[in-house]
């Protein structure tokens, strides 16, 4: 078996372990050179394995042993005990480190992690699921730079997912789906429906990733919306019509009616569509992914 070989693995440690096993060596009898540490990619897409070169270590040349020097017995100085650190001070140091780590790794939390409070009859739809604060106005130059950066990130993400699409970037004012001004990144191309997913799940995940990458780069929250050939606008129109039809049914029957569970952004559309309705009002019920809008008649 050759004394030198290149081995690969998901990680450097895995590649080294495989090489030592194949060559029948141990870490003490081998020279190990890391060629590449590899890359995990995004969700496993575009990943590269780690590579290492392992060489059998040559035995050291024999040398004439020198007589051992006679060392006088060492005099051990008295041990000096450092002052004890009180638990209160240690706890403060630990808290300070945790605070610095949290500040250095700022990211936007996923929407699903923000639990909306249980709504009552006095719900205000415009702020029910609003976990975002308004930001300072930006200059046209800053808007252009952000659009270019977000477009670059989204292009790379779509490419790694195996699709070809053009990204149309446009700043828009607030609307039924967004309370604040936002950057719209609309993907256009052929056969892009898989990027939408069931009820927009894949689209929402892509949007989260782009926001995450922008936040990690700028350390600021930016309202970025990712769409595929106008799917979100069509969804808004569909939900608004569904809300009006359901409201008419409740008004005629006098009985409450619950819609299917929806994400926070879609529940907000239902609330806004019926906010000024004369015969019904809305509230959100349920927890987590089972949270939904209930339409009730005015008494």
What average pLDDT does this structure show over 7-27? 84
Do 274 and 187 lie in one domain? The reply is: no
Residues forming beta bridges with residue 52, ordered by sequence position: 7, 34
**Domain count of the fold of the chain:** 3
**Residue where a domain terminates, one of 24, 41, 56:** 56
Give the tens place of pLDDT for each residue, 136-175.
678 889 999 999 999 999 999 999 999 999 999 999 998 7
| Structural contact between residues 294 and 270, judged by C-beta atoms closer than 8 angstroms | no
Do 191 and 158 lie in one domain? The reply is: yes
**Residue where a domain terminates, one of 56, 72, 98:** 56
Do 161 and 245 lie in one domain? The reply is: no
Do 134 and 210 lie in one domain? The reply is: yes
- For residue 19, being part of any structural domain is answered with yes
Do 163 and 219 lie in one domain? The reply is: yes
Tell me how far apart the alpha carbons of residues 224 and 154 are, in angstroms, rounded to a whole number.
11
Residue 272's domain spans which residues? 234-297
What is the pLDDT, as a whole number, of residue 6? 86
- For residue 99, being part of any structural domain is answered with no
Percent of the chain, pLDDT > 90?
40
Q: What is the pTM of this model?
A: 0.50
What is the pLDDT, as a whole number, of residue 61? 56
| Residue scoring higher pLDDT (177 or 229) | 229
Do 48 and 21 lie in one domain? The reply is: yes
What average pLDDT does this structure show over 122-129? 39
Is 260 a residue whose pLDDT tops 50?
Answer: yes
Do 202 and 258 lie in one domain? The reply is: no
**Residue where a domain terminates, one of 229, 248, 271:** 229
DSSP 171-235: EE---SS-SS-EEEEEEESSS-GGGT-GGGHHHHHHHHHHHHHHHHHHSS---EEEEETTHHHHH
Do 209 and 222 lie in one domain? The reply is: yes
Do 124 and 225 lie in one domain? The reply is: yes
90-94, 129-133, 156-160, 261-265: range with highest mean pLDDT: 156-160
Give the tens place of pLDDT for each residue, 248-257.
999 999 999 9
Q: Which residues of 51-87 are buried (b: 16+ CB within 10 A; e: fewer)?
A: bbebbbeeeeeeeeeeeeeeeeeeeeeeeeeeeeeee
Do 30 and 129 lie in one domain? The reply is: no
- For residue 261, being part of any structural domain is answered with yes
- For residue 149, being part of any structural domain is answered with yes
Do 221 and 242 lie in one domain? The reply is: no
What average pLDDT does this structure show over 69-93? 42
């Amino acid at each position: 078996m050759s004394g030198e070989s290149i081995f690969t693995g998901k990680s450097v440690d895995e590649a080294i372990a495989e090489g030592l096993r194949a060559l029948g060596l141990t870490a003490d009898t081998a020279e190990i050179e890391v060629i590449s540490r590899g890359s995990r990619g995004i969700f496993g897409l575009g990943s590269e394995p780690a590579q290492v070169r392992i060489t059998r270590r040559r035995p050291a040349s024999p040398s004439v042993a020198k007589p051992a020097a006679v060392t006088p017995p060492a005099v051990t100085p008295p041990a000096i005990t450092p002052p004890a650190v009180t638990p209160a001070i240690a706890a403060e140091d630990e808290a300070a480190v945790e605070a610095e780590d949290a500040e250095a790794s700022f990211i936007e939390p996923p929407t699903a992690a923000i639990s909306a409070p249980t709504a009552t009859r006095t719900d205000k739809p415009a702020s029910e699921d609003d976990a975002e604060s308004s930001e300072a106005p930006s200059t046209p130059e800053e808007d252009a730079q952000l659009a270019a950066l977000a477009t670059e990130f989204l292009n790379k993400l779509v490419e790694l997912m195996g699709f070809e699409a053009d990204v149309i970037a446009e700043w828009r004012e607030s609307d039924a789906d967004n309370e604040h001004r936002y950057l719209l990144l609309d993907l256009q191309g052929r056969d892009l429906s898989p990027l939408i997913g069931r009820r927009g799940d894949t689209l929402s995940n892509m949007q989260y990733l782009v926001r995450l990458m922008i936040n990690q780069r700028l350390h600021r929250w930016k309202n970025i919306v990712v769409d595929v050939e106008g799917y979100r606008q069509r969804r808004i129109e569909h939900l608004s019509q569904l809300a009006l039809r359901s409201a008419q049914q409740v008004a005629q029957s006098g009985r409450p009616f619950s819609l299917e569970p929806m994400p926070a952004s879609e529940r907000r559309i239902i609330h806004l569509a019926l906010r000024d309705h004369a015969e019904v009002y809305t509230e959100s019920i349920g927890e987590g992914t089972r949270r939904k809008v209930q339409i009730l008649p005015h008494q």
